[in-house]
Amino acid sequence: MLVNRMLPTVSAENLTQFETLALSSSMNLADGHARQQLTAAQSKIVAELPDMWAEAAVRPVDEIEQEAAESFFGMLGQHSHPFAAGRTLSCYSSSLAMEILARSLVTTSDAVALIHPTFDNIPDILRGVGLRLVPVEEEQAHDEDLPAELLEQVGCVFITTPNNPTGRVMSEGRLRRLAEQCAEYGVVLALDTCFRGFDPDAQFDHYAVLDASGCRWVVIEDTGKLWPTLELKIGWLVRSANVDLPVEKVHSDILLGTSPLILLMVKRFADDGADGGLAELQRTIADHRALVRAELADVPDIGFVDDRARVSVERLHVGSRLGMDVWSAVRSQNLYVLPCQKFHWARPREGERMLRLALSRNSPTLLAGARVLRSALLGVPELRG
Amino acid sequence: MLVNRMLPTVSAENLTQFETLALSSSMNLADGHARQQLTAAQSKIVAELPDMWAEAAVRPVDEIEQEAAESFFGMLGQHSHPFAAGRTLSCYSSSLAMEILARSLVTTSDAVALIHPTFDNIPDILRGVGLRLVPVEEEQAHDEDLPAELLEQVGCVFITTPNNPTGRVMSEGRLRRLAEQCAEYGVVLALDTCFRGFDPDAQFDHYAVLDASGCRWVVIEDTGKLWPTLELKIGWLVRSANVDLPVEKVHSDILLGTSPLILLMVKRFADDGADGGLAELQRTIADHRALVRAELADVPDIGFVDDRARVSVERLHVGSRLGMDVWSAVRSQNLYVLPCQKFHWARPREGERMLRLALSRNSPTLLAGARVLRSALLGVPELRG
């Protein structure tokens, strides 16, 4: 049987549309949103939602917002956040924070240097507002200074750390050097740190490092990847005092504020996180990663390429198979994963032998998915390409 | 005492920033978000949030989303919505729906004809993505055909109905004629109907009228103005089959989906609305409008200019005073209202003798605010200008 016969018509234009296909499936390992079960402590918080509603309805929202920020940033080891200075803006989601940043950047700049690969809504949003993109290879960003000719042609360097899908974390020393370079060239350094709750290596005080360099900076943070809160989440858009971008104005064009109920909930989840919940989550993700690797251990010609990843997604190299062939084969069994071409936004072919699996699921779902994947990998012919 | 001495430094760049100043005040009559008390029936729904959470966690989200849409659009008399056809997209808010529409429009067009006045985040978002705006006076939009030379130079006509702040509703007959004109010129007709829950005159089947004309159309709907749900809301972005704009792609760049918990809550609030809750809300707003008018009845040289308005905001003409003087005077008493210049986005001076008051508040708050306003109006000198 030719594998190509199995290919359904797929009109997904981006990774999110691939994720949408999976939304109502019982084996959705596609999106990176948190879909594992609530822990006992989290269930207790959810049971108190009506009381939190009553509290949110009467208290000043700026007070609630500050408490949520203190708890969330504190849990991440990000102690120096500038909430009191009005530079920590809450958004409905990290992608909305990204849209606001993009719309702000394009008022002063026409090009952005962007890490490659990374989740494709980042390049799509940047391009969507009219910015030209220059790829910065992940290895390059982590291992060496950026070339002067790159820094001279862009208004912003954008880095995802930990990166999605690779999980690679920018170290404090490397961030310091990159920030110094950006300061030297007057370029904004923008970070997407949405997955840093999963990796203690990413839980140092980024803003202190950035401020010390004197560079103009923006950081996007996210509560949405960590906890299974049914898309109730906050994306934070944080900026330096010297950033000189109309971030606050564009933010106010799109929202007056986020929900005080969600902010109260975030505070409670973050307090629980600081009290052991985050470590428990990290252990759960490590267990899930081990579970998937064990289930696929004896499949020939595959590889887990991100050895040190601790984020809630895992890349699988499918060897000489094509990722889309495997994607189609498992889809016919109702399992959804993400093909990786579109992460490689500048050169999609580099991702064509990779799939991304979400680990933030219940163990039985993950195990069932891994078994379907195993059987498909054993069945999908290896192609020479 | 000179009034100008009282003027604080105000750096608000748009209406939302004026609203932000009011957020933590006990007398916030500034923003149009719903801040009245929950009704008994609504409180019962809130008490069931933990159960709804459990339900939302296990049911397919597309099923929940369809039920929310059926209930909400049904309550509004909008029976022909194209959810099943995938043309009713849920967003975190109506302003995000607006951003997505603007980003879609700018891919095919460089100018939009926009109703004047209207809430300033609409012109600001449209301009923010690079669109040129041509004002369409509210009277003109409601009373006569649009001129050919206008329709020839724009890619979209954008109408807010009921309008914010005037409350003026576009009738079915007038909408039909405008849609026919847009069809004739190949121009997208975009409607913002976020306030239509307040006015039965706006609760006819807009989409049927638009479809019958054959025009390309987009409508933004909102659950957020009606119910005091702490910013938990859905903005809907609805479009015609022939719209030929990348709305779905831009939507997927920014979100995978809205919260199934919020969708379940919207369904419950809308079912209650259809069961008498919406009529009760309309009576409450009418009572609040009467309360404010009565409290200010004997103040000389003022006027309530929107006689037939039923929306949850009310414009007050402050006669020969300046709106900003009154704004400053009441602000010093901790009362916040909205000065109207920025609604008149093309000619701000036309709004300088007007204030907008929010009516979707508890009666005691509204009464206290009206008394502060009354005393300020009696104290602010009339200026000749």
User: For B23, which of A31, A62, A130 is closest by C-beta distance?
Assistant: A62
Q: Residue B11 in 3-state DSSP?
A: coil
Q: How many CB atoms lie within 10 A of CB B300?
A: 8
How far from each other are the two terminal CA atoms of chain B, in whole angstroms? 19
Which pLDDT band holds residue A9 (cuts at 50, 70, 90)? low
For A219-243, letters b (16+ CB in 10 Å) and e give bbbbbbbbbbbbbbbbbbbbbbeeb
Contact B56 A230 (CB under 8 A): yes
Residues A16, B258: C-beta atoms closer than 8 Å: no
CB of B110 within 8 Å of a chain A CB? The answer is no
Instruction: Label residue A121 by pLDDT band (50, 70, 90).
Output: very high
What pLDDT, on a 0 to 100 scale, did the predictor assign at position B2? 39
Integer CA distances (angstroms), B32 to B18, B232, B355, in order? 12, 15, 13
Residue B9: per-residue pLDDT: 61
Please spell the DSSP secondary structure of B276-306, one letter per residue.
IIHHHHHHHHHHHHHHHHHHTTT-TT-EE--
**Contact between B256 and A61 using a beta-carbon 8 Å cutoff:** no
A30, closest residue in chain B (CA to CA): B256
pLDDT of residue B385: 42
pLDDT digits (tens, 9 = 90+) for B170-206: 999 999 999 999 999 999 999 999 999 999 999 999 9
Task: Give the separation between CA A86 and CA A62, rounded to whole angstroms.
Answer: 10
pLDDT tier at A14, thresholds 50, 70, 90: very high
Q: Give the mean model confidence (pLDDT) for residues B266-287.
A: 98
- Homologous superfamily assigned to A15-39+276-383: Aspartate Aminotransferase, domain 1 (3.90.1150.10)
pLDDT at B219: 98
| Other Cβ atoms closer than 10 A to A270 | 26
Q: State yes or no: pLDDT of B17 exceeds 70.
A: yes
Give the pLDDT confidence of B321-364 residue by residue, as tens digits: 999 999 999 999 999 999 999 999 999 999 999 999 999 999 99
In this prediction, what percent of chain B has a pLDDT beyond 90?
92
Phi and psi torsions of B315, nearest 5°: -90, 140
Beta bridge partners of B316: B304, B355
pLDDT class for A6, splitting at 50, 70, 90?
Answer: very low
Binary contact (B231, A50; C-beta < 8 A): no
Q: What residues of chain A lie within 8 A of the CB of B23, using their CB?
A: 60-62, 256-257
Q: The pTM is what?
A: 0.96
Q: Of A17-21, A30-34, B9-13, B273-277, where does mean pLDDT reach its minimum?
A: B9-13
**Tens-place pLDDT, residues B228-238:** 999 999 999 99
Fold held by B49-272: Aspartate Aminotransferase; domain 2 (3.40.640)
Q: How far is CA A223 from CA A95, A194, B231, in A?
A: 12, 7, 17
Judged against a pLDDT cut of 60, whether residue B6 lies above it is answered with: no
Confidence of residue B383 (pLDDT cuts 50, 70, 90): low
B23:A255 CB<8 A: no
Contacting residues of A for B13, CB less than 8 Å apart = 249, 252
List, for residues A149-181, the tens digit of each pLDDT value: 999 999 999 999 999 999 999 999 999 999 999
pLDDT, chain B, mean? 95
Which candidate from B53, B61, B252 shows the least CB-CB separation from A46?
A: B53
Mean pLDDT of chain A: 95
Kindly report, residue by residue over B133-174, the tens digit of the pLDDT: 999 999 999 999 999 999 999 999 999 999 999 999 999 999
* Residues 40 through 69 of chain B touching chain A, CB cutoff 8 Å: 46-47, 49-50, 53, 56-57, 60-63
**Residue in A261, A286, A306, A272 with CA at minimum distance from that of residue A162:** A306
The crossing angle, in degrees rounded to 10, of helices A260-272 and A61-75 is 30
In chain A, where does DSSP find H-type helix? Answer: 15-22, 40-47, 49-58, 61-75, 94-105, 121-128, 138-143, 148-151, 172-185, 206-213, 247-254, 260-272, 278-295, 323-331, 363-379
Read off the pLDDT band of B24 (50, 70, 90): confident
Q: Report which residue type is found at A366.
A: L
- B92: which chain A residues are within 8 Å (Cβ-Cβ)? 92-93, 96
Query: What would the two tokens of residue A330 be?
Result: 């498992």
Asked if B96 and A95 come within 8 Å (Cβ–Cβ), the reply is no
CB < 8 Å from B in window 260-319 of A: 260-262
Chain B partners of A20 at a C-beta cutoff of 8 Å?
252, 256-257
> pLDDT tens, B43-98?
999 999 999 999 999 999 999 999 999 999 999 999 998 988 899 999 999 999 99
The reply to whether domains A15-39+276-383 and A49-272 share a CATH topology is no
As a whole number, mean pLDDT of residues A257-283 equals 98
Length of chain B: 385
Cβ within 8 Å of B, A 322-381: none
Interchain pair B228, A252: CB under 8 A? no
Residue B318 has pLDDT above 60, yes or no: yes
Is residue B108 within 8 angstroms of chain A, CB to CB? no
- Please state the domain extents for chain A: 15-39+276-383, 49-272
